[in-house]
Amino acid sequence: MTEQPPEMSKEAFLNMAAQLGLEGDDDRMQTLFEETKGSLARAAGVFEIDTTGYAPSPINPQFEVGA
Amino acid sequence: MSDLDGRTIAELAALIGSKQVSPVEVAEASLRKVEETEPKLHSFITLTADQAMAAAKQAEVEIAAGRYKGPLHGIPFVSKDLFWTKGVQTTSGSQADLGFLPDEDSTVVARLQDAGAYSLGKTNMSEWAFSITGYNSYFGWSNNPWGLDRMPAGSSSGTGTAVSGGVAPMGLGTDTGGSIRAPAANCGLTGLKPTYGLVSRYGVTPLSWSLDHAGPLCHSAEDVALTMNVLAGHDPRDPYSAKREPVDHTRGLNDGVKGLRIGVPTDYVWDVMDPEVEASVREAIAELGRLGAIIVDVSLPALEWASRMGGTLTSTEAAAYHGARIRRDGHLYDQRTRMRIESGMFISAETYHQTQRVRAMAGQKLAETFRNVDLLATPTMPMPALPQSVGVGVTQVGGKSLPSSALMTRLTQIFNVNGHPALSAPCGFSSDGLPLALQLVGRPFEDALVLRAAHAYQGATDWHARRPVF
């Protein structure tokens, strides 16, 4: 299993939001911060799964696709 | 009310092909049904009645001249409003795309038209296809014909309500986490999320490139098979389109399920489950057993991983697609949808790639399971259609409390992540008259086998033949 990334602070969020070009009043940015924290927490669940021996696969490797 | 209302493609094709009914009569009946039902159902964003009548007249001339193209000739359909339609507004359910007039048809719409089918109009949907409830804050709810205050489910909400409401025998939807199967389940229809790569997404506004699938919602597996014969096929304009020989999805449809091994997951699936859904799905599985299938228990922990992967894959890919647009026009997006997309911008490459590793592992686990079974059977959703008033809030099912969207994608999303064909078919009704649904899942590119099993089940039951009174 891989270690989970640390939880994002409000300060780090606002810095990153500015870099990403995301703007809004305080209420909007607070709501977006809460939404983002929730998304990151759910996403972090994948670090609890032991994926030793597996490489990232954007599609099912058994598929034959491509133009 | 016309005696053509609620007919299947197979029934209408038999009437049209034998010239007992003309395509114009079918179109007139459909448009009367739209007029009758639309005030209650709100299925459509754009109605194209004039174009539909013109196409029906053309079909009538062609058939009278002996140029019958096949079972879809003269058949009306509806399409979710993210399938590009030349010169016809395509909003993708967003205020931001009001007035967008594509300069070409999506591949699947063009294929249907080439087969002689014609569109009645563009149906309501969750904005950018990014919600399973079907709610759209700009266009409002489409209402479920089986309970007007119930969720139709989405994101192909208007397609579900229009077909269920009897205005057309077939509609196009897309499915990124369950958006064909959930409306099919809630609206009492048969809907197929085909194998990834089998049906072109060219000219379909993307939500998540690696999860999006296009497919049909119909009244029966037979109709889905007839439609898949037109929709499926390689399209060089979709980079993920599979290069495979065309398959006749109706061939073998009547071969039954005798000897097929159908796996029923023992874990996860039943942990959060409405008792009426469980009873009806277990009875449906028992019926498949009585028809000769071999029912076997399977353990499939990968099912649980979908909830950890789906959100990351969808929001990051949606962020990649919408990024520039959302910075400019974000005020025109539903603000909840906007934030769900924006939150994807904060997910690290490390997390995204770890998710893709889990995806690879889940794909292998599923492949191992399918070495021992031909199909999987589960409920499509853990509960009947929720009240619209629940929205995206938390609700209780089987004694457990979960957000509605997590409940509704709980059993469907894994098959988007790994691309397997998955079909939802009606298998009963709740005590308050809402449809319940069985999900059948197959190996990649064995969509025809999924349809064969569903057709066998529908030959022994009549749940799919019932129509709502509203």
Give the 3-state DSSP-derived string for B339-390, with helices as H, strands as E and coil as C: HHHHHHHHCCHHHHHHHHHHHHHHHHHHHHHCCCCCEEEEECCCCCCCEHHH
Q: How far, in Å, CA of B352 to CA of B345, rounded? A: 11
Assess B240–A contact: CB distance below 8 Å, yes or no. yes
Mutate to test the interface with A, among B354, B409, B413, B417 (most CBs of A within 10 A): B354
**Is A62's CB within 8 Å of B444's CB?**
yes
C-beta of residue B119 within 8 angstroms of C-beta of residue B77: yes
- Residue scoring higher pLDDT (A61 or B342): B342
Shortest CA distance from B312: residue in chain A: A43
Whether A67 has a pLDDT exceeding 60, the answer reads no
Phi-psi region of B144 (alpha: psi -120 to 50; beta: other; left: phi over 0): beta
How many other β-carbons are positioned within 10 Å of the β-carbon of residue A66?
A: 12
C-beta of residue B439 within 8 angstroms of C-beta of residue B411: yes
Is B80 noted as a catalytic residue in this protein? yes
Instruction: Give chain A positions within 8 Å (CB) of B312.
Output: 39, 42-43, 46
Selecting among B80, B131, B193, B208, the annotated active-site residue is: B80
**Which portions of chain B are predicted below pLDDT 70?**
1
B197: nearest CB among A38, A40, A65:
A65
**Is B360's CB within 8 Å of A54's CB?**
yes
pLDDT score for B301:
86
A59: nearest CB among B240, B244, B348:
B240
Strand partners, B378: B439
Selecting among B179, B208, B220, B315, the annotated active-site residue is: B179
Cα separation of the two ends of chain A? 36
Instruction: Give chain A positions within 8 Å (CB) of B356.
Output: 56-58
Q: Which residue stretches of B140-187 are H helix?
A: 157-164, 181-187
Site of tokens 């599985």: B285
Site of tokens 């499509």: B380
Q: How far, in Å, CA of B428 to CA of B433, rounded? A: 9
Q: How far, in Å, CA of B125 to CA of B154, rounded? A: 7
**Is A63's CB within 8 Å of B350's CB?**
no
Instruction: Give chain A positions within 8 Å (CB) of B244.
Output: 64
pTM of the model: 0.97
Q: How confident is the model at residue A63 (pLDDT cuts 50, 70, 90)?
A: low
Instruction: Give chain A positions within 8 Å (CB) of B419.
Output: 59-60, 63
Instruction: Give chain B positions within 8 Å (CB) of A35.
Output: 339-340, 342-343
**Is A60's CB within 8 Å of B196's CB?**
yes
Is B155 noted as a catalytic residue in this protein? yes
Whether A66 has a pLDDT exceeding 90, the answer reads no
Q: What is the DSSP string of B288-315?
A: HHHTT-EEEEE--THHHHHHHHHHHHHH
Mutate to test the interface with B, among A4, A13, A22 (most CBs of B within 10 A): A22
Q: How far, in Å, CA of B212 to CA of B175, rounded? A: 6
User: Measured between CA atoms, how close is B309 to chain A, in angstroms?
Assistant: 7
Selecting among B155, B156, B208, B280, the annotated active-site residue is: B155
**Is B347's CB within 8 Å of A40's CB?**
yes
Using alpha carbons only, give the angle B440, B442, B446 rounded to the nearest 5 degrees: 130
Assess A1–B contact: CB distance below 8 Å, yes or no. no
pLDDT score for A65:
46
Indicate if the alpha-carbon torsion angle B92, B134, B149, B432 is positive or negative: positive
Is B431 noted as a catalytic residue in this protein? no
Stretch 154-183 of chain B: residues touching chain A, C-beta under 8 Å: none
Assess B419–A contact: CB distance below 8 Å, yes or no. yes
- Quote ipTM for the complex: 0.91
Whether A61 has a pLDDT exceeding 70, the answer reads no
**Is B354's CB within 8 Å of A8's CB?**
no
User: Measured between CA atoms, how close is B1 to chain A, in angstroms?
Assistant: 46
Instruction: Give chain B positions within 8 Å (CB) of A45.
Output: 307-308
User: Measured between CA atoms, how close is A2 to chain B, in angstroms?
Assistant: 9
pLDDT score for B2:
74
C-beta of residue B423 within 8 angstroms of C-beta of residue B189: no
User: Measured between CA atoms, how close is A1 to chain B, in angstroms?
Assistant: 10
Stretch 15-54 of chain A: residues touching chain B, C-beta under 8 Å: 16, 20-22, 28, 31-32, 35-36, 38-40, 42-49, 51, 54
User: Measured between CA atoms, how close is A6 to chain B, in angstroms?
Assistant: 12
